[in-house]
Amino acid sequence: MFGTSHPQPPHRKEVAMQIVQQQRKSFASTELTVDMPDASRVAPPPDDLPIRFSVAYTLGEYLSMVREHTGFLLRHAVPEVRRRRVLVPLALGTAACVLALAALLAGASGWMSGLLLAAAALAFGSLPGTVGFWVVLLATPFFLLKKRRMQVCDFTIDRAAIARSSKAGEFRRGWNEVKGVRSYSRGYLVLFERGAVPIRFRCLDGVQLERLRAFALGRSAADGITLPA
């Protein structure tokens, strides 16, 4: 009735394999796998996210933007004004040279001839072709004085306003106060009723440049915003 054979206990190796399988099954049911997104399908940041960057302006960048903007103003002046800016200095300079030569031939004192020649030099120096010279001469000391007060500028630009903070304080203007945006070789120049703010290309990546354009173009044409391509 009672047999002499008994079931053999499981081998230690078999028990160990069952435990490992059970552990694998429990981990597989709670494991979280995160796949990297496709870069071409990643959504861009929200449009209302502000653009932030810091910049330390250089003298070369400043002179370049002043020179280009001054040239733009001269080229787009009223035709009568452009002719007057050329003809008047030429006439005055020529007349001063003739009078200086006449004074020398007449044996007049040297100071009179020198004064007339200085007047001629100033007249010829005011011709549009000398803009680069005057920009370097006048804008350089202005930049150096401004650089002492504003060594580094921190910008925050969003749909509502352009804000610039530095040691000199904070400058904040809304987009409704912008009169125009000019594009030059080294950056944008945002124009206000009084003054302007340069925004360097080197401070922005491609996405930020497009968002800056979107902020500017978001204003209606009636507000006077112009942003060249």
pLDDT in tens, 101-122: 887 777 767 777 788 778 778 7
**Domain presence at residue 163:** yes
How many structural domains are present in the chain? 1
**Domain presence at residue 26:** no
Q: Is residue 88 scored above 60 in pLDDT?
A: yes
Q: Is residue 132 scored above 90 in pLDDT?
A: no
Q: Are 190 and 162 in contact (CB under 8 A)?
A: yes
- Residue 57 CA to its chain's centroid (Å): 10
- The residue range of the domain holding 148 is 51-223
Higher pLDDT, 221 or 142: 142
Percentage of residues of the chain with pLDDT beyond 70: 74
Which of 13-27, 30-44, 76-90 has the least mean pLDDT?
30-44
Distance CA 48, CA 94 (A): 59
The whole-number pLDDT of residue 99 equals 80
**Domain presence at residue 62:** yes
Distance CA 137, CA 88 (A): 23
Q: Is residue 5 scored above 80 in pLDDT?
A: no
**Domain presence at residue 22:** no
Element of type H or E holding 170? strand 169-174
Residue 128: pLDDT band (50, 70, 90) is confident
* pTM of structure: 0.63
125-129 long-range Cβ contacts below 8 angstroms, 24+ apart: 126/85, 126/89, 127/85, 127/86, 127/89, 127/90, 128/74, 128/82, 128/85, 128/86
**Domain presence at residue 38:** no
**Domain presence at residue 36:** no
Q: Is residue 1 scored above 80 in pLDDT?
A: no
**Domain presence at residue 72:** yes
**Domain presence at residue 10:** no
Distance CA 61, CA 187 (A): 9
Q: Is residue 154 scored above 80 in pLDDT?
A: yes
Q: Per DSSP, what are the bridge partners of residue 174?
A: 161
The whole-number pLDDT of residue 229 equals 47
Mean model confidence pLDDT for the chain: 76
